[in-house]
């Protein structure tokens, strides 16, 4: 057995329950294409192939590619599995025949690139129909607002809400991986993915994310102070907050997705 590479976030899944839950979360259809990111030794790849789906798997580690090519030689020869050696963050999704809304994503990804992968998939012009991901438990809770009376938002949770809806599927303990990571994990599903909210509000993705990033620039500061610092006129923001019965000292993490769309639409510098 080859050693796991820490710098590539290699924690291999060994729980059949978690594997099944990841596949069920996107309700893979026979014949559908599934993009798998970081197939590793194929813990998810094999069961996804068994559903009858066509799999496009992108893996960065050449050693894993070699192993996968041996393990799945029949599926590769038959065209059901395509393995691509590369970095998913450098690749263009449409280059691999992934057609807008006609594929789903299943991935147990390295935790340090969770945010980058989610944003890349959602912002893409050929975005998936549904996404099933294993992420750090704390991140899953943040994205889905689980176990909190009043959800605190983050740039990542707002990115997900701007494009779709997220569901907390199940917790996966560290012992379900080899080697076990330092933190617990959870499966999340992102569905109903579209750019509809941008179209309806007339706000571009750039406008929206640049405002959100500026609002969160210094976490301990109020929204007003962060936006003032970024050069925005604070009067319309104050008027909006008061109209919405929100405290003028509110922080970015307490503002909801609709508030951000309103502000992005109405604020000029
Ligand atoms: N899917 C396997 C499993 O569940 O057992 C492996 C999961 S492991 C957490 C993450 C995998 O992603 C590793 O195989 C690693 O080599 C691969 N990887 C790391 N960075 C990557 C990147 N930028 N692009 C594609 N694959 C990457």
Average pLDDT, the chain: 93
Q: Tell which one of 38, 66, 87 to mutate to probe ligand 1, the residue whose CB is within 8 A of the most ligand atoms.
A: 38
Ligand 1 atom nearest to 5, measured from its CA: 16
Longest dimension (CA), the chain: 65
In this structure, are 177 and 81 located in the same domain? Answer: yes
Q: What is the pLDDT of residue 269?
A: 61
Residue range 186-209, pLDDT digits in tens: 999 999 999 999 999 999 999 999
Cα of 185 to ligand 1 centre, how many Å? 15
| The pLDDT of residue 58 | 97
Residue with the nearest Cα to atom 19 of ligand 1?
Answer: 8
* Same structural domain, 133 and 107: yes
Mark whether 183 and 207 lie in a shared domain: no
| Location of structure tokens 């503002």 | 255
* 90 CA to centre of ligand 1 in angstroms: 14
Output the residue whose Cα is nearest ligand 1's atom 14.
Answer: 40
- Give residue 62's pLDDT: 97
CB atoms within 10 A of CB 93: 22
Number of domains in the chain: 2
* Mutation to probe ligand 1, out of 8, 81, 91 (largest number of atoms < 8 A from CB): 8
What mean pLDDT comes out for the span 91-103? 85
* Distance in Å, CA 141 to ligand 1 centroid: 22
Pairing mode of beta strands 81-85, 54-59: parallel
Strands in 54-59's sheet, in edge-to-edge order, are 81-85, 54-59, 33-37, 103-108, 130-136, 185-191, 165-172
pLDDT at residue number 151: 76
Residue (of 215, 189, 193) closest to 123 by Cα position: 193
Residue that is last in its domain, among 145, 164, 194: 194
Residue 89 lies in a domain: yes
Residue 1: predicted pLDDT: 52
Q: Report the pLDDT value the prediction gives residue 2, as an integer from 0 to 100.
A: 63
The tens digit of pLDDT for each residue in 102-136 reads 999 999 999 999 999 999 999 998 999 999 999 99
Range of the domain at 242: 199-266
The whole-number average pLDDT for the span 210-223 is 95
Is residue 1 situated within a structural domain? no
Is residue 18 domain-resident? yes
CA angle in degrees (0–180, nearest 5) for 217-219-225: 65
The per-residue pLDDT for 94 is 77
């Amino acid at each position: 057995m080859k050693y796991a590479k820490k710098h590539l976030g290699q924690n291999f899944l060994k729980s059949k329950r978690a594997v099944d839950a990841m596949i069920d979360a996107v309700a893979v259809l026979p014949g559908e294409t599934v993009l798998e990111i970081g197939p590793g030794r194929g813990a998810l790849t094999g069961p996804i192939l068994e559903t009858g789906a066509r799999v496009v798997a992108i893996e960065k580690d050449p050693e894993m590619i070699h192993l996968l090519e041996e393990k799945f030689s029949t599926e590769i020869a038959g065209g059901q599995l395509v393995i691509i050696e590369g970095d998913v963050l450098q690749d263009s999704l449409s280059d691999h025949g992934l057609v807008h809304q006609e594929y789903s994503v299943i991935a147990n990804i390295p935790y340090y690139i969770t945010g980058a992968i989610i944003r890349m998939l959602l912002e893409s012009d050929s975005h998936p129909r549904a996404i099933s991901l294993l992420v750090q438990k704390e991140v899953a809770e943040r994205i889905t607002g689980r176990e909190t009376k009043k959800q605190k938002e983050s740039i990542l949770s707002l990115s997900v809400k701007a494009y779709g809806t997220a569901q907390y599927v199940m917790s996966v303990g560290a012992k379900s991986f080899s080697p076990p990571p330092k933190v617990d994990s959870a499966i999340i599903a992102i569905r109903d993915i579209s750019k509809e909210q941008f179209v309806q509000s007339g706000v571009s993705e750039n406008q929206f994310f640049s405002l959100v990033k500026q609002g969160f620039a210094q976490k301990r500061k109020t929204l007003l102070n962060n936006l003032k610092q970024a050069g925005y006129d604070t009067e319309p923001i104050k008027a909006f907050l008061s109209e919405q019965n929100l405290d003028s000292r509110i922080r970015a993490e307490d503002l909801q997705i609709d508030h951000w769309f309103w502000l992005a639409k109405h604020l000029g510098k």
